[in-house]
Amino acid sequence: MRFFVLVILSAFFLAAMSSLSSDPSLAGEEAREEKLFISPNSFQGNDTERINQAIQVAASKGLRVVIPRLNRTKGSASNTWLLDSAILVRDNTVLELNNCHIKLSDRCRDNMIRSANCGLGITDIRPMKHVYIYGVGNVLLEGSDHPRATGDSNKILGKRTYGTDAGVDGESQSGDWRNIGILLAYVEHFSIDNLHIKDSHCWAISLERCAFGRVRDIHFDMNEFKMIDGVRQTILNQDGLDLRQGCHDISIERISGHTGDDLIALTNINSSKRVAGSTTSTMVSGAKNLKGESDDIRNIFIRQISGYSCGGHHVVRFLNAGGMRLYNIVLDGLIDASPPGHRCKATLKIGDANPNWGGVTPLGDTNRLFINNVSSTSRHTILIAGSLTDSCISNVIRHADDGDIITYESGHENVKNVQLSNMIKTGVSTGNKAKPK
């Protein structure tokens, strides 16, 4: 009887061990990882198709997508993921870029990454939630060797900015939102972290009507030109990070590097001619003012910024016009890192008197800006070209003998109730300066 019991127990033990050994979660590291995330290496098609298939499956299962360094296809492996069209993120996407190099192909006239709710012909954009894009290790997102189009919607290809589509029948002859690197529209609860972006075809990152998110640890490498087949070609509108209409409750931290245009820009400009989903706009969601507070840029925190504009533009720019408001903005820690002999126009520019942007905003449309800890070598340190009310500017150092710390380009009459303190030119301190009336 005892022998029979031992036989039964031994059989049970062997069966249990057999079932454990056949469990794919224990068959090796690769199988274990497959249960934790989805890799595009598990799918067929071109690189973009494989990544988008992985995102679709992962979002439905509540898993993250990991794009690894090695791009494995049948019989070969590459260190580059080449995009013919945009990576499309959707609700509940967690996209990890792990020590990988993602590059636009010469065939691509599209974004690097775009929220899937918007695009060509989409006029009614469905809001999305929970999109998280982050890099692990050394991650590079790079423009193509021969961009089909560059610049914003006001730039003509082949005349003001480079594009191999210049003169090609059936192709748009101006830039548009497809030239933007990472483009999110109507996305709430998001993050974009730890990326290196090089040679973007227009703005590297643009957020439209997004909220409750963060962008941090981004390094830009853009020059307003690119050497193509041994010839220096102009690439315009290479901003780093842009926040557009309706963005609110967003944190921006640790942004560095150099860009062709502004390093960071908060731009809120009304245009009824720019409709959603068209190729006539640099905004995929359209630039028309939706009225009310919904399209105001507000509640933005910007910290630890160090960089400069290769094109001699601005390090940070705040611009609102046409009835669009901008308020409750904290900018704390801004270093103009321009190299010797290279000066940006302004370390911080507020507003614009140019009628193309709507001219000087009415008093009160730009207010409650809290600007602190600024170091500048630009031609202007803080350039007020629009209006500004009910704000504080403190701890500003200008490392230049010429010019003033605050330039009132639009006149003192457009600045009201702005408190200045600790304004310093190298070797000369102005202490606390009376607020302009």
Q: Give the span between the Cα atoms of 428 and 53, in whole angstroms.
A: 60
* Structure token pair of residue 254: 């640790």
* Helix or strand (DSSP H, E) at 196: strand 187-198
SS (H, E, C) 206-274: EEECCEEEEEEEEEEECCCEEEECCEEEECCCCCCEEECCCCEEEEEEEEEEEECCCCEEEEECCCCCC
Q: Label the pairing between strands 93-98 and 128-136.
A: parallel
| Half-sphere exposure (Cβ direction) of 49: Cα atoms closer than 13 Å | 5
Closest by CA to 302, choosing from 342, 348, 362, is 348
Q: Give the span between the Cα atoms of 185 and 173, in whole angstroms.
A: 24
pLDDT band at 47 (very low <50, low <70, confident <90, very high): very high
Q: Give the span between the Cα atoms of 139 and 66, in whole angstroms.
A: 12
In terms of pTM, does the model score above 0.85? Answer: yes
pLDDT band at 131 (very low <50, low <70, confident <90, very high): very high
Q: What is the pLDDT of residues 315-362, one digit of tens each?
A: 999 999 988 999 999 999 999 999 988 999 999 999 999 888 789 999
Instruction: Give the model's pLDDT for residue 293.
Output: 67
